Chain A
Amino acid sequence: MRLARPAHDAILAHAREGAPAEVVGVLVGGRGDDDRVTRIERARNAADTPRTRYELDPAEQIRLIDDIEAAGDEVVGFYHSHPRGPEGPSATDAELAAWEGYVYAIVSLADEPSVGAWRWTGERFDRLAVTVE
């Protein structure tokens, strides 16, 4: 996945501002064999326990998606943060993943902050190489 530097920095900034709660948002750009993220849209974490869970309110989610598509862009996937790690998807992430074929990016603030990306196959998360450019 190619991740534009401003989008990468915006994901990290969102995660840092939101800590110790988890944050969530939408990856915007173009989908394909080589997904390209050009920008992000922040969303509100509507989970009851935002330090350990994330949830996008459906009404906000559909409004964001419609606005993104109206602008001629595509939803590449979604991101959320793990303020205390782990770096990759948690068991809860796998249990609740629903967007088959889409990218789930995770920013971990444990140790060295990083942005990783995985594609949900419907059964498991496949790790993607992330190129920040």
Chain B
Amino acid sequence: MASVKVTCEVVGEGIEECELSADAAYGDLLSELGLSRHEATVLVDGSPVPADATVAADTVRVLRLIRGG
């Protein structure tokens, strides 16, 4: 299957290049970066995108979440 390359800016950390299958979802991209969907979200054009949506951007920002109790 064809692959796609995505440039990921992990906010506060740095930039990484990810190579994913063409049908990969944003949640798969997080996994590739060693992050779970519970600890980070993907932003496209400044807005969060669902983890189960198919990757459709070649540049994204990955934001680690701030949560606790």
Residues of A that sit less than 8 Å from B by CB: 22, 24, 47, 52-56, 58-59, 61-63, 65, 75, 78, 80, 89-93, 96-99, 102, 104
| Residue of A58, A65, A90 touching B69 (CB-CB under 8 A) | A90
Contact (Cβ within 8 A) B61 A62: yes
Chain A proximity mask over B18-47: 1 for CB below 8 Å, otherwise 0: 000000000000000001001111010011
Contact B69 A62 (CB under 8 A): no
A sample of 6 inter-chain contacts (CB < 8 A) reads A55-B67, A61-B63, A65-B11, A80-B68, A102-B12, A104-B68
User: What is the interface of chain A mostly: helix, strand, loop, or mixed?
Assistant: mixed
B12 and A75 within 8 A (CB):
yes
Closest to B36 in A: A98
Say if the beta carbon of B2 comes within 8 Å of chain A: no
Q: Which 8 A-B pairs have the closest CB atoms?
A: A92-B69, A98-B39, A93-B68, A98-B64, A56-B66, A96-B67, A55-B67, A53-B69
